[in-house]
């Protein structure tokens, strides 16, 4: 079973930095750079830790957060999850710098690529996504992925 965790709004509480993207003038760079101050969502991190304990389950982190803060994101992950993964580079997928397409479209593309690469994950029921964004949750459901929605 593969678990796909979202980061912003799911593993991390981003309420403090939403001010950068509200209204007409959006400062995406400031929004992303403020990620170092995110508070961990302890219940979702607890789930991640439980699933990673023992190595029976596979998980990845797919985030709409920009690649421009990759190093900060990796440090935040280590500081807030208690997991020190040698393969963090392999499991963390981030939005390309300058890309502003919807999270649903971006993650659907990643899902298609992942399924093409991993033929063992094409059947319904072998992937579960943990996500906060309603439109992304809908995309997961439409593509046969079980969803746990974080509110």
| pLDDT tens-digit series, residues 78-131 | 999 888 766 777 789 999 999 999 999 999 999 999 888 887 666 556 899 999
Cα 140-142-147 angle, rounded to 5 deg: 35
pTM: 0.93
pLDDT digits over 32-55, tens only? 999 999 999 999 999 998 988 777
CA dist 26 → 4, 6, 19, 21 (Å): 28, 22, 9, 4
Residue 24: count of CB within 10 angstroms of its CB: 4
CATH code for the domain of 71: 3.40.50.1000
Could you list the residue range(s) of the whole structural domain that residue 19 is in? 2-149
Domains: count for the chain? 1
- How far apart CA 56 and CA 44 sit, in angstroms, is 18
């Amino acid at each position: 079973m593969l678990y796909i965790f979202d980061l912003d709004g799911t593993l991390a509480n981003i309420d403090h930095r939403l001010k950068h993207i509200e209204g007409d003038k959006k400062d995406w760079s400031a929004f992303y750079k403020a990620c170092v101050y995110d508070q961990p969502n302890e219940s979702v991190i607890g789930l991640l830790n439980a699933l990673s304990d023992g190595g029976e389950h596979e998980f990845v982190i797919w985030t709409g957060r920009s690649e421009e803060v990759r190093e900060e994101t990796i440090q935040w992950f280590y500081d807030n999850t208690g997991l020190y993964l040698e393969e963090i580079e392999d499991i963390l997928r981030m939005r390309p710098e300058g890309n502003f397409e919807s999270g649903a479209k971006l993650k659907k593309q990643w899902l298609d690529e992942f399924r093409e690469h991993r033929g063992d994950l094409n059947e319904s029921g072998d992937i579960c996504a943990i996500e906060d964004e309603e439109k992304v949750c809908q995309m997961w459901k439409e593509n046969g992925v079980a969803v746990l929605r974080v509110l």
